[in-house]
Amino acid sequence: MTRGGRLERILVKRARRGPMDDTSEAQLVAGRGLQGSADQGGRRQVTILGREGWDALAHGLGQPLDAAARRANLVVSGLDLAHSRGRILLVGEVRVRINGETRPCERMDDVAPGLHAAMRRGWAGGAYGEVLDSGVIRVGDAVGWESGGNPVGTL
C-alpha cells in the first residue's frame, strides 16, 4: 500500500441541500457510506475532494473558497485523485473503491462565478466511491492507495 496523504476534513450532509457539518471523526459503513449522511447506498456512497486541487481552483478564481462549498464528504491532501476509477483508497483502515469522477453541478457558480467550468477539468471536483469496510475514520488519518493494480483507464 502507498500512503502519504492525510485526511484533512470530514463533512456530513444531514439533509439534501442542507448544511455540511464538520466533524473530527465519523463512521463509514460498508455498502452504505458515511453514517448520518443524507446520501446512503448506491455507487456514490462517499465523495472525496483533493485539497490541493481545490486550493488551486480558489487561487485561479482569485478568492478563498471553503471546501465545504464543494459538498464533498472527505477532504484529503497529498494524493492525486485524477483518473483513479477502479482504485482502492485507504482512509485510515477503511477501504473505499473509487467509482468515478464527481462532476460539478451548476450551483457551483453560486459559490463563485466560473467555479462550475473550472471544476470540469482534471477531476477538480473530486471522486466518488463505495465503502468496502466499516470503520471509524478521524481527521489526521493516513490516506493512500492500496497497491495491486492500476486504475481503470491507465497503463
Task: Residue 78: name the closest of 66, 95, 90, 94 by CA.
Answer: 90
pLDDT of residue 60: 82
CATH code of the domain containing 52: 2.40.33.20
**pLDDT band per the 50, 70, 90 thresholds, residue 2:** low
Helix/strand/coil percentages in the chain, nearest 5: 15, 35, 50
Contact 30, 24 (CB under 8 A): no
SS3 label, residue 136 = strand
pLDDT single digits (tens) 31-86: 999 998 877 778 889 999 999 988 888 888 888 888 888 888 999 999 999 999 99
DSSP string covering 57-108: HHHHHTS---GGGGT-SEEEES---TT-TT-EEEETTEEEEEEEE-PPPTTH
CB atoms within 10 A of CB 68: 17
Q: Please give the mean pLDDT across all residues of the chain.
A: 85
Specify the number of domains making up the chain: 1
Is 99 a member of any domain?
yes
Identify the bridge partners of residue 88 per DSSP, sorted by sequence position.
Answer: 97
**pTM, whole model, 2 decimals?**
0.85
**pLDDT band per the 50, 70, 90 thresholds, residue 139:** very high
Is 68 a member of any domain?
yes
User: Which domain, by its residues, includes 26?
Assistant: 2-145
Is 153 a member of any domain?
no
